[in-house]
Structures are given as structure tokens and as C-alpha cells.
Structure 1
Amino acid sequence: MKPGKRLFQYALIYKKSFIIGLLLLALAVSAELTGPFIAKRMIDVHILGIEKPWFETGTGSKNTVAFQGKFYKREDRLLPGERKGTQVRITQIGRSYYFIPRPANIEGEKKYNNHKITVSNKSVIKEYPAVPMKNKDLFKFYKPEIGGLVKLTGFYFVLLLFASIFQYGQHYMLQSSSNLVIKKLRQDVFSQIQRVPITYFDNQPAGKIVSRVTNDTEAIKELFVNVLSNFFTGIIYMAGIFTALFILDARLAMITMVLVPILLVWIKMYRKVASKYNHIIRSTLSDINGMVNESIQGMPIIQAFKRQKETVKEFEEMNKTYYSYQNKLLSLNGLTSHNLVSVLRNLAFVALIWYFGGASLKADALISVGVLYAFVDYLNRLFQPITGMVNQLAQLEQALVSAERVFVLLDEPGMNVVVRKAPRYKGDVSFKDVSFAYNEEENVLNDISFEAKHGETVALVGHTGSGKSSIMNLLFRFYDIKQGKILIDNKDIMTMPKQVVREHMGIVLQDPFLFSGTIASNISLDDPSITREKVEKALTDVGAMPFVQNLPGGLDEPVIEKGSTLSAGQRQLLSFARALAYNPAILILDEATASIDTETEAIIQNALEVLKQGRTTFIIAHRLSTIKNADQILVLDRGRIMERGTHQSLMETRGRYYQMYQIQQGQQTSKAV
């Protein structure tokens, strides 16, 4: 499904608000577009209406005018059955007005000379006696129209007031609805990040993912908040204007309708070119975000190995590409926005001039000045929404490209989060003929089989790449096996939701991760079931309470990103306490003591002896001195278990484990047994 259609589906979630907003918009447009019609009536009826036929009538009636001892009333003001006398006319020549005391046809070219008006219409020339009118006499004929002008003016201001209220309402409804759509979309994107498997993050730089959650959703926000609002407003506004134009004059309206296909073709051509540029721009921006994130994470390495210049040069190349295509897009926007509107406006007015100045300008084809004024007014108003829509084309295309990238993430297969409590397992773990590969080319685990009973400690040792961490990743179901079975309490974990599998498992990684917050929140992770007392007990059990108490804020001491103000050993102790606070049935220590000093390691070792009671513990360790008391040690090499047993039994067999231990103790063996 195209991004536009999917965004429309998101909009349908809040369709009531959008519909209310569009109705208010239609009312606002209707109220606003009534203005030229009011102006037309004011001009044709109340201002230029003075040139309509007047009739001599009796005195005392409404709308009568006294002039030269007689009373006159305009033809359209006469009441039904009212007596009509002699017809007279008033006409304007230049800036002067003249009174003609007899019926006259005043349509055509007029000239005044020697108390006579000459009217030329085609080949017919007629003369009428005329009297120049003074301003005070002219005002008498305009005076009956003042009330109508005031009423229309007041009505127009009332319409403007209502239009302003409706404009505010539609703006609020459309904008708030748009914000709700983006809130929903951004929430879905972030929720999807929680659902996608770990393998997705193996292949995607963090900066690119962050760019989709922030930059791309922000671009889509502009689509709903600005672009669609402008397009909705523009379309309704144009529909209202074209309706009004057809009411005024169908022939003139048909001429202006030519603008619509021109506009549609222009938009299609623009989108075709802009789409290419925007794809490159958004992709490059993601690369820039990814590189910035990577550079910040690896700044100690960059500075230690003096790679600043090379890193800046690499960034410069990306930035140059981004700048180049941004300029190309700006050039395209410059050519299509202002220039498009100018060309269309000029074409429209050329057509209008041709219509009035060409062969159609005949006596029987003349339209009123009011219609002409209203038509010009509407024509000017027509280009306001066109300008608004054209100026939003850049954001429209950028938003659609961003939406496409966001929906690619949303379409990634993920797992549904299961909110379900499961009884705490006993902790028996069994691997049966498990084989696994991160890709199809080469297995990292081959026929792994072992059992860990409740309360036992199992240690996994081996050189880097031997498969130790892969075993734990499979147990946690960060990855799923292709062959064999993994059982917990004789239940196949592949038949259990991943959240249920992990519910009673705890893990401590070699590189501990602390969140922004406090010491206490990093232990409890804001789980209401883990009270402050449980937090304190976990810290005490791992021996971390002494250093926590020495912090200025104690348990409430702020922790900034990754806990960079704490030492590696302190961060590891907090990570250890976090795992234990959840009272796991299965505890995994993945190189948990690798980055800890000897004194801190001794603290953890003492705590472990107490904490291992009642739970199954897996220890992945390079430092073999930390696993002497393990109930079972598995020695791995190239994804296979080469040896298994206790520390004592493996030392007696003098195999791989023995060699590794001797090397770490600084005693080189002369030969392998």
C-alpha cells in the first residue's frame, strides 16, 4: 500500500475531528466568499443603480427624491400598483453626472455638449437634452441608498466575524487532529522498535533508527499540520470560488477552469523530480545521524588514535552530498512555486482582458461593473490557495518519502508484547542437540546438549567466538534456534511467548547499561512490584550499598546517560543488583566480572555464594578463577562442547581447560595433554 493511503488510514482514526474541521472550513470559506457578492450588489444596485430609469411620482412615499420641484422614484423601488409618471434618466460622463428629463437609451459612447448628450451605439446616434447636476442635487438621488449600503456593510462585517470564528475552529480542529495522528504514529513507531527482533538492530545503525523516530515523523507531522491543512483549505476555497464564478458568468468561469489541469500536470511533474531528490536527502540525513551517533560513542577511540581529521573528512563528504541535493531541491522549488503562480495569474488576467477587450465587447454582451469587480476579486482570491498549495509541494514530497521510510520500519516482522504473568519456574534448563547460525552460511553452534538442574551453577568457557554468548542469546530467545530443543522445566521455550520465557530470568552483561534517572530507578526500572526495600536489599546483597550511601543523593542520586559519572565497577554492581532485585529463577552473568577490579570482584564472589542458592546460574567467563566453585563447566570451541565437568575434574584430565587455566596463572605448559 502506498504511503499516502496508509497515512489516510491513520487520519481515519480521528475522522470525526477532521470532518468537523472540514465543515467549519466550508462554513468559513462560504462566509468569506460572500464578500464579493455583497460588493457586487453595493456597486450594481446602490451605487451604479442611479443610472436606472426613474419615474415621476407623488410626494410623501418612501425612497422618493425631490428635484426641480418634482418627485422621482427609481424603477426598481416602485411599489406594485404605484402610479408612474414621466420617465427620466441620470447618467455619468467622466466625473460629472447629468439629468435627462425624458426616456433615453444611455448605453453606448456618450458625450456632452451644449446642454445635449450624444449617445453612439453601433451606427445609431441619438441626442437627448441634459442638465448638469450639482453635488447637492446628486446626493439627493443617492440618499435613499445609504440605508442599504449601511446594512450590507454591517452584514459583511458580521460575515467576517463568523468567518474568523469558523477559521479559528477549523484551524484548531485540523491542527489538533493532525497532532493526534502524529502522536499515534510516533507511538506506533517506538512500540514497533520494542517488538522487532534483536537481529534487526544487528543490521541497522542506531542513528538511522533514531532518525526515523524523530526526523521522519517530524516531517510527517508537517504533512498533517501544514500541508494537508493547506490542501484541504485550498481545495474547498477553490471549489467555492469556481462555484461563485459560474454563478457570476459561466463563460468567464470556463476560461479560469483551464487552470485546474495545468496545476495538476505541474504538480505531477514536480513530484516526479522531487521524489528522487528527497529519497537521497532523507537517506543521507540518516547516514549523518548514524555517523554522529557512532562518533560520539567512539570519541575516546577517535581521539586516542588521532582520527579526528579523517572523521571530519568523512562527515564533510556526507554533508556535502546533503547540501548539494538540498540546493537542487531549492532550485526546483524556486522554479515551480513563485514562477508557477505568476505564470498562471498572468494567463488568467490575459484571458480576462481578451474577453472584455475583444470581439465580445458588444452592447448586448456587456456585463455590469459589479460583476466585473466581483470576478476580478474572485480571480485574485483564487491564486491565494493555489500559492499555498504550490508552496507546500516540497513539504508534501518530503513527508511522503519520510512516511515510506517509517512504514518500512513498521512493516518489519515483530513479536506482540504479551502481558501475562506466569508462575516462577523451578529452573531446570536443558539443551538438546541445538544448532544455530546467525546466517545460513556457517553454524556458530553445533549439536549443543547439556542439562542444568535447579540451584546449579553452570560455567561456559572458551576462546572468543566459541559460542558462549550465543547459547545465552538462545536461552533468552533473542534469537530462535533452527534445530534442536531448549527446555525450561521440560517445556519447549519455542512454544512460549518470549516475554513469558524472560519473565523469571535475569542477566548481567559485560558492558552494563544504565538509564538516565536515579540509582533506585535503575535497579527497579520503575516496576511497582519492586519496592524501595527490595532495591536496598539487592544493593546490600551485592555489596553495593556502601558506595551508594557515600553518594550525595544516595538511592536518589541522579544517573546521567550510561552512568558515565560512575566507575566501571560501580556500574557493574548496579547492573548486578538490578538483575537480583527481580529475583530471577535463572541468572545469567555474561562476562560480568571482566571489567571489575579485584577488590570489587571479591565482593561479588562473596555475594554470589549466597545469591546462587535457589536459582540456576549461568556464568560466561574468561577469568577462570571466578568459576572454580561451579557445579558444571562447559568448555566450548568453534560451537561445540569439547569438555565438561567440575573445575577439579577438568584439571585432572589436563585438557583444554587445564591449558587455559595454566596460561591465565602464568604457568606455560610444555606440551598439551
Structure 2
Amino acid sequence: MNTGKRLWNYALYYKKLLIWAVVLLIIAVSAELTGPFIGKKMIDDHILGVEKTWYKGSSEDPGAVRFQGSYYVREDRMKPGAEKNGEAHIYQVGTAYYFVGRPVSFDGNRSVSDGKLTMSNGKESRTYPAVTLSKQDIFQFYRPEIKGLMTLIGIYAGLLIFSVCFHYGQHYLLQMGANRIIQRMRQDVFSHIQKMPISYFDNLPAGKVVARITNDTEAVRDLYVTVLSTFVTSGVYMLGIFTALFMLDVRLAALCLLIVPILMVWSVIYRKYASVFNQKIRSINSEINAKMNESIQGMPIIQAFRREKETMKEFEELNEAHFRFKNKMLSLNSLMSHSLVNVLRNIAFVGLIWYFGSASLNASGLISIGVLYAFVDYLNRLFQPVTGIVNQFSKLELARVSAGRVFELLQEKGTETQGVPAKRKAEGAVEFRDVSFAYQQGETVLKNISFTAEKGETIALVGHTGSGKSSILNILFRFYDAQKGDVLLDGKSIYSMSRQELRSHMGIVLQDPYLFSGTIGSNVSLNDDSISLEQAEEALRQVGAGGLLQSLPQGIREPVMEKGGTLSSGQRQLISFARALAFNPAILILDEATAHIDTETEAVIQKALHVVKQGRTTFVIAHRLSTIRNADQILVLEKGRIIEKGSHDELMEQKGQYYQMYELQKGTAQSAV
């Protein structure tokens, strides 16, 4: 599914809201666009209507005006069937008005000399006696128009207020709909992130993932909040304006329709170049976020090894590339925005002047001033939405590129996060059957691994870096799936369970403990409703963190900053242990959990573990072999294979790889002492 269809599908989630917004918009625009028609009627019927033909009447006639002892009534206000006698005309020449009390053959260029009005049109010319009207006389002829003018002004003002109210409603609904769409999109993206396999995050820097969730969705937000509202509003405006133009003059309205294909060609040309630039800008922006995230995380190393200048240079290269492509976009927007709109506007007005000018040369083709006013007004209004559309081209293309990046993330295959709840707690018996695994094709890290861990046993995994210890636990947790072999939990293949069901039986403590922003208690329970604050506190005491709770002003409610920066590594690890124990797992996994802990804290944890691992199957990865002497089974790995297996005493008797590693560590420790 392409980007446009996906964006459309998101809009359909809130179609009722958007439809109501469009309905209100159509009503508002319809009310607003009646203005030029009202202005046309005011000019033609009331302001310039005084130049229409007048006939003699009586004082009882509606709108009758007394002049020189007689009453005159405008032709369009005479009673049906009334006799037309005493034809008269009023003409404006310059700022003065003249009364002609006889029929006039035609209208044309006017001039007054020695009390005579001359009409000329081409080769024809006629002269008529004319009486100059005083201000009082002019006011008398305009008096009947005052009521009509005030009525039209009141209608126009009422329609403007009506339009403003509906504009507010449509703007509110359209913006709320757009915000709802982006809220749902961000929820979908963040929810999908939770489903992504661990391998996805291994291959993509965290900064780039964050950029897609924040920056790219914010750009898509501009599409719905600004671009969509502008395009819909402008589209309705243009439709209404063209309807009005066709009602005024079909030929000129058809000529104005050329703007539509011009806009379409304009859009295609713009997208051709803008797409390339925006792809680069968004990609570089993600790299900048990744670089900043990496630099902040690694600031102690950067400063300790005096790499500030080199890091700054790398950042400046990315920043310069971003600036360069931004400038290209700026040049493109400057070339294809206001300047071209102004050219189109000027061409349209030249066409308008030519059209009405040529029509005025033909007596039968004369256009009223009101029609001319309405056309100029509508033409001015037509270029406002055109300008709005053109100004949104850059945001439209940026949003389209950003949406493509967001949907690319959503298309990544995820794993299930909703599984069938475990009907019972697992016993904890684990069996690996001839398991082989590779992170990348052709680079096997586990080769034919087979072993059995009975319920309640402690299994230790030892070996040099890269031997496959952590990979075994990744397979057990189903962070990755083995390409060959099977893993059984209580005799049942873990691949027949959902990941959530499998992991509900397990707890893990990593080498580098991770704490979330919140409190000590929330980091133990992870806000799980089934774990009370009292249970979390008891778990902390079980792992020997009672002294930690007493030393904190707010105890278990003590706030924790991001990553637990205010706590020591030992304290963070104690909380991590308590977290695993609070969930009461059948299988406990310790991934080099004591690597960052001092000897005194390690002694506390070892004492606590001796109690809590009773009845649980425990897997331990440890570089310090002295910590696993009491393990029921020790697996020695080398290059992805199990080369030795047995208890501490059995392996020491074999005097193989484990014996050498143990003696080497023992000798190193004694030398250190």
C-alpha cells in the first residue's frame, strides 16, 4: 500500500469529524462568497441604478421622486401594466449629474458643453438638452435607494458573522480531527516499536528510531493540521469562486479554469525535485539525532579521551550537509512560490482588462460596473487559495517523505505482544536439543547445543567472550529464534507458545541494569497491578536492599532519574534483582549480573540468591568463576560448542578448559592481593 493510501486510511478513522468540518466549511464559504454578488447588486441596482430609464408617474407610485413639478418613477419599479409616458434619464459626467428629459438612443462616451449632453459611440454621436442637478436634487433621486442599500449592507454583515461562526467550527473540527489522527499514528508507531524483535534495535541506532517517532510524525502532523486544512479550505473556496464566475460570465470563467492544470503541472515539477531534497534532509536529520544520542550517552568516554574536537567535527559534517540541502529546498521554494503566483495573477488581470475593454468597444457587449466589480473581487479571492496551496507544497512534500519513513517502520515485521495467559506456573525444566543459531547467515554462533536443566537447578555458562553464552539466553528468551533444533520448557516446545506466555515464566537480570524514570517502587513492579508496593518492598529486602531503602529520604517512593543516574551501580543492580524476584519467575536468568558490583555488595546478593533460587531454575553467566562454585551444572563453551559439562568439582578433576580458567583467575586474584 502506497503512502497516500495509508494517509487516507488514517483520515478515515475520523471521517465523521472531517465530514462535518467540510460541511461547515462549505456553508461558511458559501456565505462568504455571496459578498461580491451583494456588492454587484448594490452597485448596479442602487448606486448606478439611478441611470436607469425613468418615466413620469404619480406620488402614489413606490419610489416616486418629485422634480421640476413632476413625479418620476424608475422603470424597474413601475407597477405591472402601467403606462410609460415622459421618458427621462440621469447621467453622471465626472462628478456632476445631469437630467435629460427625453428618450436617448444609445449610451457611450459622455461630454457636456453649454447645457447640452453629447453621447458618442464610434462614428455615431447625439446631443441632448441637459439640466445640471443640485446636491438636493441628486439626494432626492437617491433617497428611494437608501432602504435597499441598508438592507443589503445588513444582509452582508449578517452573512459575514454567520461565516465567521461556521469558519470557527470547521477550523476547530478539522484541527481536532488532524490531532486525533496524529495521536493514533503515534500510538501505532510506539505500539509497533514494542513488537519489534531485539535484532531490529541491534541494527538501527536509537536516535534514528526516536527521530521517526517524534520528528517524522510531527512532520506528518503538519500534513493533517496545516496542509490538509489549507488544501480542503482552498479547494472549497476555488470551487465556490468558479461557480460564481460561471454565473457571471461563462467564457471568462472557462479561461480562468486554466489555473487548475497549471497548478497540477506545478505540483508535479515541484515534487520531482523536492522529494529528493526532503529524503536527504530527513535521513541526515535522523543521523544527527543518532549522533547526538550517541555523544550524550558516551560523554564520559569522549571527555576522558579528549575526543571533543573530533566528535564536533563529525557533527559539523552532518550539520553542513543538512544546511546544504535545506538551502536547496529554500531556493526551490523561493522560485516556485510567491513569484509564480504573482505572475499568474498579473496574467489573469491583463486578460480581464483585455476582455472587458474589447467588450466595451461594442455597444451590445457593454458590461455593467457591478459585474466588473464582482469579477475583480472573485479573481482577487481566487488567488488567495492558490497562494495558500502553493505555500503548502514544501510541507506537503516533507510530510509525504516523513510519512513514508513512518510507514516503512510500521511495515517492519513485528512479534506478537498479546499471548494467551499461562494457565499455571511452569515447573522450570529446560532442555536444549541440538540447537544451532546464527545472527547473520553464514556466521554460526551456536553449534549443536544440547543440555538439560532440571527444575530448581542452577546452570552456569562460562567461556571466553564470543563463545555463545549470551546467545543461549537470547534463544531461551526468544529474543531470537534458532535456525535448527528445539528448546523445551517442561517438555513443551517454546516455539509452540507465544513469546508473552513464555516470558511470563522468566525473570532476567542483565549485566548493565536499566532503570526507568519513576520511583524505586515502580522500577521493581514496572507498574504491574498484580505487584503491590508492599510486595515490591519485600523483594528489595530479600535481595539485601533494606539498607538502601533506609538511606533514601522517601524510601521506596524515592524518585529515580533516567537510567538511575543518582544511584550507584551496586544499588541499581539490587533494584534489578528485586524486579526479577517480584515477578516470582520459574526461571531466573543472571547475565553477568555481578560484573559491576563490589565484593561487599556481591556477598549480600549471593546470600539473598541462595534463598530465592530455591525451587527455581537459574541460569548464570559469570566471568568470576568463584561465584558459580555451587552451581549444579556448569557448561563450558568455546566457539559456539559445549566442550565441557559438569559440576565444579567434576570439571576441576578433568583438568580441562574450566580448570585452566579457574586456576588462572585464582592466581590473578592472589597476585592482586
Specify the TM-score bucket, using the shorter chain as the normaliser. Answer: over 0.9
> Tell me, which stretches of 5 or more residues in structure 2 are unaligned?
none
- Per the alignment, residue 644 of structure 1 pairs with 645
Q: After superposition, what is the alpha-carbon deviation per residue over 1:400-421, rounded to whole angstroms, capped at 9, x for unaligned?
A: 0000000110000011221532
1:256 Cα offset (Å): 1.4
- Per the alignment, residue 433 of structure 1 pairs with 434
- Per the alignment, residue 384 of structure 1 pairs with 384
Q: After superposition, what is the alpha-carbon deviation per residue over 1:336-360, rounded to whole angstroms, capped at 9, x for unaligned?
A: 1111111110110111122123476
Q: After superposition, what is the alpha-carbon deviation per residue over 1:42-99, rounded to whole angstroms, capped at 9, x for unaligned?
A: 0000111111111101123321101111101100001113343211111111111100
- Per the alignment, residue 35 of structure 1 pairs with 35
Letter in 1 for 2:458: T
1:668 Cα offset (Å): 11
- 3-state DSSP of counterpart to 1:443: strand
Distance 1:548 1:602 in 2: 18
Q: How does 1:581-600 map to 2 (within 5 A)?
A: 581-600=582-601
Change (3 A) 1:668 1:296: closer
Q: How does 1:118-517 map to 2 (within 5 A)?
A: 118-358=118-358, 361-422=361-422, 423-517=424-518
1:215 Cα offset (Å): 0.1
- Per the alignment, residue 114 of structure 1 pairs with 114
Contact 1:189 1:213 in 2 (8 A): yes
Of stretches 523-532 and 73-82 in structure 1, the one that deviates more from structure 2 is 73-82
1:5 equivalent in alignment to 2:5 = yes
- 3-state DSSP of counterpart to 1:126: strand
Letter in 1 for 2:135: N
Distance 1:51 1:643 in 2: 114
Contact 1:237 1:385 in 2 (8 A): yes
- 3-state DSSP of counterpart to 1:319: helix
Equivalent pairs, count: 669
Change (3 A) 1:667 1:30: closer
Distance 1:158 1:82 in 2: 36
Distance 1:668 1:214 in 2: 49
Q: After superposition, what is the alpha-carbon deviation per residue over 1:362-419, rounded to whole angstroms, capped at 9, x for unaligned?
A: 1111110000000000000111101111111110000000000001100000112215
- 3-state DSSP of counterpart to 2:487: strand
Contact 1:662 1:668 in 2 (8 A): no
Contact 2:62 2:78 in 1 (8 A): no
- Per the alignment, residue 96 of structure 1 pairs with 96
1:123 Cα offset (Å): 2.1
Letter in 1 for 2:466: G
Letter in 1 for 2:434: D
Of stretches 97-106 and 136-145 in structure 1, the one that deviates more from structure 2 is 97-106
> Tell me, which stretches of 5 or more residues in structure 1 are unaligned?
none
Distance 2:571 2:381 in 1: 68
Letter in 2 for 1:524: S
- Per the alignment, residue 663 of structure 1 pairs with 664
Distance 1:145 1:611 in 2: 98
1:106 Cα offset (Å): 4.5
Q: After superposition, what is the alpha-carbon deviation per residue over 1:590-648, rounded to whole angstroms, capped at 9, x for unaligned?
A: 00001100000000110111111111000000000110111100011110101111111
1:549 equivalent in alignment to 2:544 = no
Contact 1:539 1:574 in 2 (8 A): yes
Change (3 A) 1:339 1:117: same
Contact 2:420 2:498 in 1 (8 A): no
Of stretches 105-114 and 497-506 in structure 1, the one that deviates more from structure 2 is 105-114
- Per the alignment, residue 80 of structure 2 pairs with 80
- Per the alignment, residue 624 of structure 2 pairs with 623
- Per the alignment, residue 560 of structure 1 pairs with 561
Distance 2:405 2:649 in 1: 57
What is the alpha-carbon root mean square deviation over aligned residues? 1.2
1:499 Cα offset (Å): 0.6
Letter in 1 for 2:295: S
Of stretches 313-322 and 333-342 in structure 1, the one that deviates more from structure 2 is 333-342
- 3-state DSSP of counterpart to 1:430: strand
Distance 1:653 1:77 in 2: 123
Q: After superposition, what is the alpha-carbon deviation per residue over 1:310-354, rounded to whole angstroms, capped at 9, x for unaligned?
A: 000000000000001101101111111111111110110111122
Contact 1:355 1:361 in 2 (8 A): no
- Per the alignment, residue 536 of structure 2 pairs with 535
Contact 1:207 1:291 in 2 (8 A): yes
Of stretches 4-13 and 352-361 in structure 1, the one that deviates more from structure 2 is 352-361
Distance 1:284 1:396 in 2: 19
- Per the alignment, residue 61 of structure 1 pairs with 61
Distance 1:481 1:653 in 2: 31
TM-score (norm 1): 0.98
TM-score (norm 2): 0.98
Distance 1:78 1:306 in 2: 98
1:34 Cα offset (Å): 0.2
Distance 2:18 2:297 in 1: 44
The ranges of structure 1 where at least 4 consecutive aligned residues each deviate by more than 6 angstroms after the TM superposition are none
- 3-state DSSP of counterpart to 2:482: coil
Distance 2:406 2:520 in 1: 35
Contact 1:431 1:450 in 2 (8 A): yes
Distance 2:286 2:150 in 1: 61
Of stretches 90-99 and 212-221 in structure 1, the one that deviates more from structure 2 is 90-99
1:523 equivalent in alignment to 2:496 = no
Contact 1:230 1:389 in 2 (8 A): yes
Contact 2:359 2:365 in 1 (8 A): no
Letter in 2 for 1:474: I
Of stretches 267-276 and 280-289 in structure 1, the one that deviates more from structure 2 is 267-276
Distance 1:83 1:61 in 2: 12
- 3-state DSSP of counterpart to 1:438: strand
1:549 Cα offset (Å): 1.5
Letter in 2 for 1:436: F
